[in-house]
């Protein structure tokens, strides 16, 4: 079968991997071990701090190292808790790396795409040791041919330099076959804008039915199984 998009780039968190569940488990484990209470309030505060820092990272306003050094330090400052934020971050990353939860349909989709002969890659902003551990535990490494973590690429999504690094690793100095590529992700600012910067097609994974307030994707799906007809080039695939 000839595929419309035989080369697929998937975002990791909240596209294939269930990051919210992983974060919840790792946070509860880490903050409980550190004696932080009340736990529910601390977790909510952390998520707001962390989301803010990662949005700044996408804009190039902070580095990955600054995220790691600041997120728990800021949390402890808000709580008036006398803890070492950097040490707590290390414990959290260790715990997060042990969470390989998948979103519904991720395993079946990757298996089927691989059976059809598609090449699957993961493009993710994150911390390498954590992301590789989670990919292995999820079992998706059976079908994913490679993963490109921003920490290893010298740039992050959505910047063009990130995708230049990805394409160079895959094709050297040759011209990448952009017309055969599709990037699937849940973030308009990171994934869809990143695809536009890279000159490839994009598919917005939007299970919550959120309004599109950013760059327009080429396709939009509400569940992972809807990606298959898009890849196969079937009429009406996606929106």
Which residue is listed with tokens 């903050």? 31
Q: Rounded CA gap, 203 and 34, in Å?
A: 40
236/230 Cα distance (integer angstroms): 8
Both structure tokens of 32: 């409980």
Question: Is residue 38 a contact partner of residue 213, using CB atoms and an 8 Å limit?
Answer: no
Kindly state the helix (H) or strand (E) to which residue 41 belongs, with its residue range.
Answer: helix 39-58
Residue 146: what are its φ and ψ, rounded to 5°?
Answer: -170, 155
Is residue 11 among the annotated active site residues? Answer: yes
Given a contact cutoff of 8 angstroms between Cβ atoms, the answer to whether 117 and 92 are in contact is: no
- Give the number of residues written for the chain: 239
Q: Active site residue: 11, 18, 186, 191, which one?
A: 11
What does the H/E/C string look like for 93-112? Answer: HHHHCCCCCECCCHHHHHHH
List residues with catalytic annotation: 11
């Amino acid at each position: 079968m000839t595929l419309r998009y035989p080369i697929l780039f998937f975002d990791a968190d909240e596209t294939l991997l269930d990051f919210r569940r992983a974060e919840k488990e790792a946070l509860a484990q880490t903050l409980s071990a550190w004696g932080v209470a009340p736990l529910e309030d601390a977790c909510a505060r952390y998520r707001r701090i962390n989301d803010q820092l990662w949005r700044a990272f996408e804009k190039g306003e902070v580095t990955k190292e600054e995220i790691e050094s600041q997120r728990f330090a800021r949390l402890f400052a808000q709580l008036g808790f006398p803890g070492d934020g950097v040490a707590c971050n290390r414990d959290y990353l260790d715990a997060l790396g042990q969470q390989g939860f998948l979103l519904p349909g991720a395993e079946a989709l990757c298996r089927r795409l691989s059976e059809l002969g598609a090449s699957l890659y993961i493009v993710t902003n994150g911390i390498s040791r954590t992301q590789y551990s989670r990919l292995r535990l999820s079992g998706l490494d059976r079908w994913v041919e490679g993963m490109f973590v921003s920490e290893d690429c010298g740039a992050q999504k959505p910047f063009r330099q990130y995708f230049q690094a990805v394409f160079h690793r895959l094709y050297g100095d040759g011209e990448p076959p952009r017309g055969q590529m599709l990037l699937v992700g849940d973030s308009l600012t990171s994934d869809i804008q990143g695809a536009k910067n890279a000159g490839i097609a994009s598919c917005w994974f939007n299970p919550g039915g959120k309004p599109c307030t950013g760059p327009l994707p080429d396709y939009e799906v509400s569940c992972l199984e809807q990606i298959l007809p898009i890849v196969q080039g079937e009429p009406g695939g996606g929106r």
